[in-house]
Every structure is written in C-alpha cells, then in structure tokens.
Amino acid sequence: MKHIRREQFIWDFLNQGVIPVCYEKVSINHTDYLNKDAKATQNQVLYVSLVPTYLNYKLVNHDLYNSLKVVHKGKDGAGIFIDGPYTIDAYLEKFTKKQLRINLKRAISRLETSFNISYEYNFGDISEEKCDFLLSELRAMLIKRFSEKKTENMFLREWDMHTKNLAKQINNKKASLFVIYSDKSPISISLNVHINDTMLMAKTNAYDTAYSKFSLGHLDNYILLDWCLKNNYNVLDLGFGIMEYKMKWCNVFYNFEYHIYYKKHSILAKAIAAIEVKKIQLKNKIKTLNIKERVLRLKSFLKTPEQTEVTPFRPSYVLEVVASNDQYKASDLKNIDITSPAFDVLKQPVYEYLYSNQLHMDSISVYKIVNEAHSYILKTGSNLIKINILGHEN
C-alpha cells in the first residue's frame, strides 16, 4: 500500500547496525545511537515491526504523527544493563545471588582442574578456514543438543542467514566467536553481534552436552559479561527467550512491539492504522492457538524413516567400585580413547566422575571389558571403577 512505509527494526539493527530512516536516534541504557541516514517522511502511516521494549526512540518529525504500540506475541528476551565500571567479581558480588557465585566458582575450578582449558576471543581477526571450522563445530553442537531435547531450534532453521559472511563481520568487529577449548577441541561456542562498540548481542551459543555437569551455559554468560566489562560495553543482550538460567543473570526482560505512526488530522491515516492494528491483533490471536507448533509436530510424525533424524543416545549408567585388580586380567581389557567419536557414550559418565572427584583427565585410563557388552573400566591410581552403560541399543 503506497500510503504506508514499512520497516523491520530488530534484524537490521542487530545484524547491520541500521536504524529505520524514520528515527532520528534510538537510545539504550543511556547510550544514543544516532541515525546518519535519518530523514523526514511524508507517508500517511509508518509501520515499524519488532521493536524491543528496552528501546527509547525519537521520530524525525514526531510532531506530525500520533503513535500506537501493539505487543508482538511469541517473542521475548533478556539482557544485562551495565551501569558503571566494574570488575567481573565486583559486578557479580553486587548484582547476583550468592548461590550463583558459589556454583560458578566451583564449576570453573573443576573444569580447569579436570581438563586443559583455554579461552579464545575471535574478534577483529579470523581466517575463513578457522571461521568455517568453528561454525561446523557450533552447528554440530546445536543439532545434538536440540535433537536430545526433541525441540526445534530457530537459529538452525535460519542458519545460512545468520552465518553468511561471518568471517568478514568478525574482521570488521561487527561480530565475534568466543570459544572454550579442552585441549584443541571446542566444547562451548558463542556467536555474537557487536553494535557501535557499546552493545553485545549473543545470537546463539552451544556446548558439548557431555560437559553439562560443568555448567557451561553459566560459564558462557560469565565470559561474555567479563568481556563487556573490560571493553566498556553497557549492554549485554542474551537474546531471545527467557530461560531459568538467564533469570539468574539478567536485570532487563523485554518483549517486542509493533510501532505504528499515523499523520495527525488525517482520516485516511487513522483508518489505515486501525486496519493494521486489527491485522496484528489477529496474528497474535492465531499465535495463541499454537498452530505453527502443531504443524511442526505433525510434519515430524509424518516423516518417513529415511527422513527422521537420529536422536543422539543419552546414556544412563551405573558406576561400581571393583574390589581388586585381580578381577580382570590384562587380556580382558582393551585400552580405548574416549575422545574418539566411537566412544561418545562414555564421555558423560567419565567427565561426571572427574567432576565429582576433582581429577584431571590425564590421571585416568579407560578400558573396554572385552567379553562384556557395554561395560568399561575407569582406572585412576589403584582404583578401578566399572561403568555399565544401560539401555544401549547396539
């Protein structure tokens, strides 16, 4: 319709730092983002979709327009506004609960006790080859995690759109990949967008679920916040969705809105705006019926066996102490490398044992019991621990 100018806010702003031309500026946490392309518009109606509610804004010719706001159902998010200079420890002491700090300190200590951990910030410099490698690892982690949860991940559905030209964006300091390594293997990756050197948006993160005992989701938040504090950022947006772990960190929870501006003293503009509001309300009503989710579940149910993705096997296991080394002869045991993909099923039980006993990976050996299906021996010093994997299909 020629009388309406339509703009989409969140995608352009978060991925390109672009503000709709109808806005003179937007403000977040006392920081102004001036719009160099701002210009007065003559349209009867201005329609801006997906505007986060933590945003303040100024229309170029606001005196000419009345405004309406309508909530967008189905999207919300959470973030952290940083109100001054802090060290990470000082910030956590002031704004988070004691139990989170205790758990976080324990998780970091035990992770670094059990593995050769290193942290890497890919921001301002990355090769195409390394970027492709990290994206491949990130994608594999997301697929595994959400297959285990049996839920859909929107980032995976829109993978190409989110990752196109990422190496270039990182080299231009518009994006980053923060990585935690165990030896040379990534075990947690966060893909982020940077806006005007003041705001970091965590677009997605994933970790190897075998390390879930070590609270890598919280550690990822810790790394992002620490980086923001050291680099004088004042907004850390942890992205869409308000999950329990975010609630322990965030001080801002937001929704999205449609902003509709219509010219004052214009019957035509008022009528068009009213129609657009009704359309949005109808869309919101349809969303409450969960039609999209029901269709997706139906499609999944109707998949042929060839189409159905294999759900990763999550092990149930039993540990038992073996009383004597004499119970098994050398010929009964075959030394194995659990970092090999062939033994993924063993990673979680072994890593959880390391966590509980504060042992390093290099201090143990793992063996397959040759004549016992799905049974293994973990040896540490003079101790032998038998691992029985339950419910394995093979």
pLDDT of residue 310: 43
Provide the residue type at 353 as one letter.
Y
**254 φ, ψ to 5°?**
-135, 160
DSSP per-residue codes, 59-112: ETTGGGEEEEEEEEEEEEEEEEE--S---HHHHHHHHS-HHHHHHHHHHHHHHH
3 closest CA partner among 320, 260, 369? 260
Q: What Å distances lie between residue 302 and 143, 186, 295, 305, CA to CA? A: 20, 35, 10, 9
Give residue 319's pLDDT.
Answer: 87
pTM of the predicted protein model: 0.86
* CATH T-level topology, domain 84-233: Aminopeptidase (3.40.630)
CB 321 within 8 A of CB 384: yes
pLDDT values of the chain reduced to their tens digit, one per residue, 394 residues: 578 989 888 888 877 778 888 899 898 877 888 888 888 888 899 999 988 998 888 898 888 999 999 988 877 889 999 988 999 999 999 999 999 999 999 999 999 999 999 999 999 999 999 999 999 999 999 998 888 777 777 888 889 988 999 999 999 999 999 999 999 999 999 999 999 889 999 999 999 999 999 999 999 999 999 999 999 999 999 988 888 888 899 999 999 999 999 999 999 999 999 999 999 988 888 877 766 555 555 555 555 444 444 445 566 888 888 876 667 788 889 999 998 888 888 999 999 999 999 999 999 999 999 988 889 999 988 788 999 988 655 4
pLDDT of residue 66: 92
Q: In the chain, which segments carry CATH 3.40.630.30?
A: 84-233
pLDDT on residue 114 = 96
Please give, one letter per residue, the 3-state secondary structure of 209-236: HHHHHHCHHHHHHHHHHHHHHHCCCCEE
What is the structure's pLDDT at 225?
96
Tokens representing 275 are 């129609």
**220 within 8 A of 49, measured Cβ to Cβ:** no
* Dist. CA 384–CA 147, nearest whole Å: 34
